[in-house]
Amino acid sequence: MGEYKMNKRNRTLSGFIMHIMIFLLILPLLVLVVWSFSKSWPWPNIFPQEFGLRGILHVLDPSSRALKSLLLSIRLSLVVTIVTLILSIPAAKTLGVYSFKGKQFIKMLVLAPIIVPPVAVGMGIHLTFIRLGLANRFIGVVLVHLIPCLPYGIRILTDVFEIIGESMEQQARVLGANSIQTFTNITLPLIAPGLISAGSLVFIVSFSQYFLTFLIGGGRIITFPMMMFPYIQSGDRMMASAYSMVFILATLVVLIMMEKAIKSYYSTKNYFYL
Amino acid sequence: MIKEKKTIMRKIILFLLIAGLILNLVGCTQEAVVAGENEDLLETNWESILEEAEGTEVNFYGWGGSQMTNDWLDNFLALRLKEEYNITLNRVPMDIDQVLNKLLGENQMNVTGTADVIWINGENFSTARTNDLLYGPFTHKLPNFNQYIDVESVEVKYDFGFPVEGYEAPYGKAQFVLVYDEARVEQVPKGHEELMELVKNNAGKFTYPAPPDFTGSAFIRNIIYDIVGYEQFITMKADKEVIAKAIQPAMDYLNELKPYLWRNGETYPSTIAQLHNMYADHEVFMTMNYNSNEAAARIQTGEFPRTTNTFVFENGTIGNTHFLAIPDNAPNKAGALAVIDFILSVEAQASKYNPDNWGDLPVLDNARLSDSERAIFDEIQIGKGALPQHILLDHRVPEMPANFVPIIEEIWMENIL
């Protein structure tokens, strides 16, 4: 009985903390939504004095090309996500399952692009890409997005491979499956949850890239953040909020769709290690 | 035995892959496209330039932080260019320093770029010119330039004291104005003395953005002009000691003002955007702008209160001209020429002047306009919160040479901050 009571109190306390946390996370987003519809919001009013649709109408107006760049951004980041995952799986398996000399060093090295700021290498990459004919092109931007994205993809999947190990794959091989069958029937379903989290993070990292897209895309590839940042910089809060709101919504929708797609493909019943 | 063979094979394949990758990177020095193959474009006549421009795509690179400006380019200019020349205008929101970085990189590799028209002035223009990044001189080719622009005017010949020499065409004019809230400022100051009095009586209600913010820096230059006059700076040497001595009275003034500023002058807003938002939030009762009509635009968008108005000092405020240039490695120079010429037309300048569209001051010379053309400009209703063109032009003083600006900012930081 006493234990039950204790449990209940604990639960109300943790529930309370959880609600506060959610509130703290949601509140700034709410402010963003309010700002994207308010003309002015001077201190000390708790609520804005005047509302308007200027921001959201501008984003939706075809002549502003905001939606066009949003679609381009989504396409670009999806391609980057897929390429990153394809490159990450073998690398992550090697780092997670096998042991070899210098493994720790390579694990560190994988994180290098996050540690070294892109500005430091950006100009050099730009020159090289001009020479290779990759600058100002979609493929060039995809390649340059791989730099900040790969560390996340590889690190998350490495942890997944460390957990699942190689025993299930070996079992499949013993039972006569070839390497492709093993990969599609055993490895992929096993790492599917890892793919979802790695894919989500990589998508977000690619979707919010600004500087590298700018430099390599050279104004030919105009992504959504490139339309959004000038407004944030110039202090037009209504416009900046409207763009940010669309930015967040688009990310959410894509991520939810991505998760649904992967989950429905590899039905969840086999997650024995979770 | 077999296993060993397999690992050796693997190693060989791995080696080949790596070697291939490296060779690929080194060997792939693609033939750089050499820029400037249509160098003779300036030799041909205007009709053939227009013919070449017809149906092409022109990439317009410029600052994209103002909705009004963006909408004018997207809704007016792009549509009219499509109708007139079947040109597709592609607006690229990019800050000029980023454009210059890109051009410098491309210039180093000697390849054709992507920008056809760039929006530029001042220090950036002198940087671009000294690095040979611009195409020209081209302005003498433009019919509208020859017809409507006063080529002898100081504002067309010099950009922040740097000779233009036909490498950029005027786009619009800006002038520094002070913006205030009629509901909270009783008496508009006519000069620096009255401003001091007003700020002293309303401590904490005024401030200016700290340089190197563009507008804050202009405010300081304006105070300098108001106290010591602007004439001496035209011939002055760009020497820190000489300048420091000349502007000492202005520095004393700003120091006297400092304790009465917002937060006792211990800190300054770092950007004009921040000051605008502080003004919109009623934290201060005055803001400032290097675009004389932006306050009117912000009343229209609802950001600023309806009681907002602008004023200039009796001794005048600084004005400058912003320009359009063509990069030396522009892929479509003919298209760029056609676009710039169209922007210099009466129709485009009048539309740009209309505060409903943008509210940027026209660059055309009044004396060269016909009566009917002048009437087009006169008919435009300038919005609430903006000053009419003739008041601005009567109170307009030229900018200092561009290389004075960083020196003055340095002196400010040493003396005031």
In chain B, which residues have their Cβ closer than 8 Å to the Cβ of A143? Answer: none
pTM as predicted: 0.83
Interchain proximity A219–B71, CB inside 8 Å: no
Question: B335 and B315: one domain?
Answer: no
In angstroms, how far is CA B127 from the centroid of its own chain?
Answer: 14
The rounded percent of chain B whose pLDDT value lies above 90 is 65
Question: B203 and B127: one domain?
Answer: no
Average confidence score pLDDT of chain A: 88
For residue A64, give how far its alpha carbon lies from the nearest alpha carbon of chain B (Å): 7
Q: Is B169 inside a domain boundary?
A: yes
Span A8-25, mean pLDDT?
Answer: 88
Q: Lowest mean pLDDT of B3-17, B313-327, B343-357, B393-407, name the range.
A: B3-17
Q: Output b/e per residue, B192-203; b: 16+ Cβ within 10 A.
A: beebbebbeebe
The predicted structure's pLDDT at residue A50: 80
Burial of B156 (0-12, 13-18, 19+ CB in 10 A): buried
What is the rounded distance in angstroms from the CA atom of residue B99 to the CA atom of residue B276? 26
The predicted structure's pLDDT at residue B109: 86
Q: DSSP of chain A, one letter per residue? A: -HHHHHHHHHHHHHHHHHHHHHHHHHHHHHHHHHHTTEEE--TT-SS-SEE--HHHHHHH-GGGTHHHHHHHHHHHHHHHHHHHHHHHHHHHHHHHH---TTHHHHHHHHTHHHHS-HHHHHHHHHHHHHHHT-TTSHHHHHHHHHHHHHHHHHHHHHHHHHHH-SHHHHHHHHTT--HHHHIIIIIHHHHHHHHHHHHHHHHHHHHT--HHHHHHHTTTS--HHHHHHHHHHHT-HHHHHHHHHHHHHHHHHHHHHHHHHHHHHS-GGG-TT-
Of A58, A126, A127, the CB nearest to B67: A58
Interchain proximity B109–A226, CB inside 8 Å: no
Does residue B417 or residue A238 have the better pLDDT?
A238
Interchain proximity B282–A42, CB inside 8 Å: yes
Q: Where is B195: in which H helix or E strand?
A: helix B192-201
Q: Are B311 and B178 in contact (CB under 8 A)?
A: yes
Question: B167 and B179: one domain?
Answer: no
Q: Is B5 inside a domain boundary?
A: no
Length of chain A: 274
Residue A65 forms contact with B (CB below 8 Å)? yes
For residue B89, give how far its alpha carbon lies from the nearest alpha carbon of chain A (Å): 11
Which residues numbered 303-362 in B keep a CB inside 8 Å of some CB on A? 303-305
Q: Is B382 inside a domain boundary?
A: yes
Interchain proximity A40–B106, CB inside 8 Å: no
Could you report the per-residue pLDDT of A137-175, keeping only the tens digit for each? 999 999 999 999 999 999 999 999 999 999 989 999 999
Q: Lowest mean pLDDT of A90-99, B17-26, B227-236, name the range.
A: B17-26
Does residue A51 or residue B189 have the better pLDDT?
B189
What is the rounded distance in angstroms from the CA atom of residue B391 to the CA atom of residue B23? 67
In chain B, which residues have their Cβ closer than 8 Å to the Cβ of A234? Answer: 65-66, 273
Closest CA to B345 of B302, B376, B386: B376
Contacts of A4 (CB under 8 A, 6+ apart): none
Question: B185 and B274: one domain?
Answer: yes
Q: Is B38 inside a domain boundary?
A: no
Question: B162 and B201: one domain?
Answer: no
Question: B303 and B221: one domain?
Answer: yes
* Residue ranges making up the domain that contains B330: 44-173+320-386
Residue A155 forms contact with B (CB below 8 Å)? no
Which residues numbered 176-205 in A keep a CB inside 8 Å of some CB on B? none
Q: Where is B159: in which H helix or E strand?
A: strand B158-159
Residue B29 forms contact with A (CB below 8 Å)? yes
Of B29, B102, B303, the CB nearest to A40: B303
- Counted domains in chain B: 2
For residue A239, give how far its alpha carbon lies from the nearest alpha carbon of chain B (Å): 8
Which domains does chain A possess?
55-270 (1.10.3720.10)
pLDDT at residue B33 greater than cutoff 80: no
- CATH code, domain with B159: 3.40.190.10
Question: B351 and B242: one domain?
Answer: no
Interchain proximity B114–A50, CB inside 8 Å: no
The band of A129, judged by pLDDT with boundaries at 50, 70 and 90, is very high
Closest CA to A110 of A129, A94, A128: A94
Could you report the per-residue pLDDT of B122-144, keeping only the tens digit for each? 889 999 999 999 998 999 999 99
Q: Is B26 inside a domain boundary?
A: no
**Looking at this predicted complex, what is its ipTM?**
0.80
Question: B195 and B111: one domain?
Answer: no
Residue A64 forms contact with B (CB below 8 Å)? yes
> CA torsion angle for A43, A37, B381, B78 (degrees, to 10)?
140
What is the rounded distance in angstroms from the CA atom of residue A259 to the CA atom of residue A255? 6
Question: B148 and B83: one domain?
Answer: yes
Q: Testing the interface with B: which of A31, A236, A238, A241 to mutate, by most B Cβ within 10 A?
A: A236
What is the rounded distance in angstroms from the CA atom of residue A225 to the CA atom of residue A247? 8
Question: B150 and B205: one domain?
Answer: no
The predicted structure's pLDDT at residue B21: 57
Q: Is B21 inside a domain boundary?
A: no
Question: B305 and B181: one domain?
Answer: yes
Which residues numbered 276-295 in B keep a CB inside 8 Å of some CB on A? 276-277, 280-283
Q: Is B1 inside a domain boundary?
A: no
Could you report the per-residue pLDDT of B214-248, keeping only the tens digit for each? 899 999 999 999 999 988 887 888 899 999 999 99
Interchain proximity A63–B92, CB inside 8 Å: no
Q: Is B287 inside a domain boundary?
A: yes
The predicted structure's pLDDT at residue B328: 95
Question: B139 and B286: one domain?
Answer: no
The predicted structure's pLDDT at residue B414: 93
What is the identity of the amino acid at A267?
A: S
Which residues numbered 61-80 in B keep a CB inside 8 Å of some CB on A? 61, 63-67, 70-71, 74-75, 78
The predicted structure's pLDDT at residue B293: 85
The predicted structure's pLDDT at residue B412: 95
